[in-house]
Amino acid sequence: MEISRQIIERGMNMINTPYDDVFRTLLNDCPKLIIPVLNEIFQEHYTGNEEIRFLPNEHFLNRQGGKEDERITDSAFVIQSPEPKNYHMECQSTPDNSMLVRIFEYDAQIALDNGRIQGDTLTVEFPNSAVLFLRCDAKTPDQLKLCLKTPGGDVRYNIPVMKQNNYEIEKIFQKNLLFLIPFNIFSHESKLPEYDGNKVKLEELKQEYVHIREKLEELCRDKHIDEYTKCTIVDMSDKVIEHIAAKYENVKEGVKSVMGGKILEYEAKTIRNEGITQGITQGITQGITQGMIKAYVDLINDGIITLKEAAGRLHVSEKEILSFKDNSTAVQIKEGSVREKLDAFKQETGKNEQQPKTPVKNMEELQK
């Protein structure tokens, strides 16, 4: 099949998968998680404190007849350490013969967007590209190859491949590859029918996710990750499991029951939104702290966690939580729904769920 025909067919059939959305959400909301992945793929030595600057992920390619095709990359960004270095990563869940064509299109457009003209010379720098394969088998290559035949000679370069099933959960934690945790269930995909019909096997899978949850809690307590990052990882794991185990109700509900499911989604969003809202008027540090305390009060009210557990996670005393005041009104520990409290909060701030939201990417943006 000719490449031109591949492009046409791919353009007609390209579908944005839930796994692509999870990949982008992790990168945009918790960008520091990608740095250990870069160290693993490209043998970099980043510390994790480097600045990450995202590049536009929408590109328009001119076609015959004046038509334009839109291309959306999974992730294109620059690491500043100290010299800028461009990266482009794609997440691949199913086999796709046109993937190399797509990567080359993206790489060429990224290179052109950042090209420099000096005198009579145009210089373009292709990004360091890589692919995360969520599904792979014995035929999946360790790297992809591109060859550009130019009048001045051939130019070849390799695109490294990261295979999800090469990373068992202990290896993920050992190498700090927390970005891969939401996709961990892909390593079990072939066994999902067995898990769904065998209580013993399902319990083994659930215990693996209990271990994941406990390790994330430990990393959070030790300040290696923050509460929002922990909750986002859990929430994204839930979304992947929701889709990959859609036909296996026992698996889906079993794993979600030990990971936390939707409750943690509310916890994460409340911590972030209330912390930011309070921070605007009361100061960044104070606001986020108070927003977190109020979020945990909501969880206590709903019976999700105990007062003692909340105090342990927040590293404050039980007395501080009980005496916490919001808008000069003491917060009482009483029965109530997390969902209702979150909806009431959104109505108060005029931000109901139908309105578009612009997420705050970092503290610098907030301070501006």
Three-class DSSP category at 313: helix
- HSE-up of residue 365 (Cα within 13 Å, Cβ side): 7
For position 17, what pLDDT does the model report? 82
Is residue 366 included in any domain, yes or no? Answer: no
Please identify, among 197, 227, 259, the residue that sits at the C-terminal boundary of a domain.
259
Is residue 365 included in any domain, yes or no? Answer: no
Is residue 367 included in any domain, yes or no? Answer: no
Residues 17 and 136 in one domain: yes
The CA distance from 67 to 61, in Å, is: 8
The two structure tokens encoding residue 108: 């060429």
For position 277, what pLDDT does the model report? 53
Is residue 202 included in any domain, yes or no? Answer: yes
H helix or E strand, kind and range, residue 88: strand 84-92
Quote the distance between the C-alpha of residue 166 and its chain's center: 19
Is residue 74 included in any domain, yes or no? Answer: yes
Nearest to 34 by CA among 141, 105, 170, 128: 128
Three-class DSSP category at 203: helix
Is residue 159 included in any domain, yes or no? Answer: yes
Residues 156 and 127 in one domain: yes
Please identify, among 226, 259, 292, the residue that sits at the C-terminal boundary of a domain.
259
For position 4, what pLDDT does the model report? 53
Residues 21 and 142 in one domain: yes
Is residue 368 included in any domain, yes or no? Answer: no
The count of other CB atoms within 10 Å of the CB of residue 264 is 21
Residues 51 and 9 in one domain: yes
How many separate domains does the chain show? 3
For position 253, what pLDDT does the model report? 93
Quote the distance between the C-alpha of residue 327 and its chain's center: 34
The range of the structural domain enclosing residue 308 comes to 264-360
Q: Which residues of the chain have pLDDT under 50?
A: 1, 8, 11-13, 59-64, 261-266, 278, 280-288, 325-342, 345-346, 351-368
For position 77, what pLDDT does the model report? 93
Residues 193 and 341 in one domain: no
Quote the distance between the C-alpha of residue 108 and its chain's center: 25
Residue with tokens 């003209």: 117
Residues 15 and 153 in one domain: yes
Please identify, among 133, 151, 166, the residue that sits at the C-terminal boundary of a domain.
166
- The torsion angles phi and psi of 150, rounded to 5 degrees, stand at -115, 160
pTM confidence score: 0.69
Residues 19 and 149 in one domain: yes
The CA distance from 130 to 174, in Å, is: 22
Residues 55 and 149 in one domain: yes
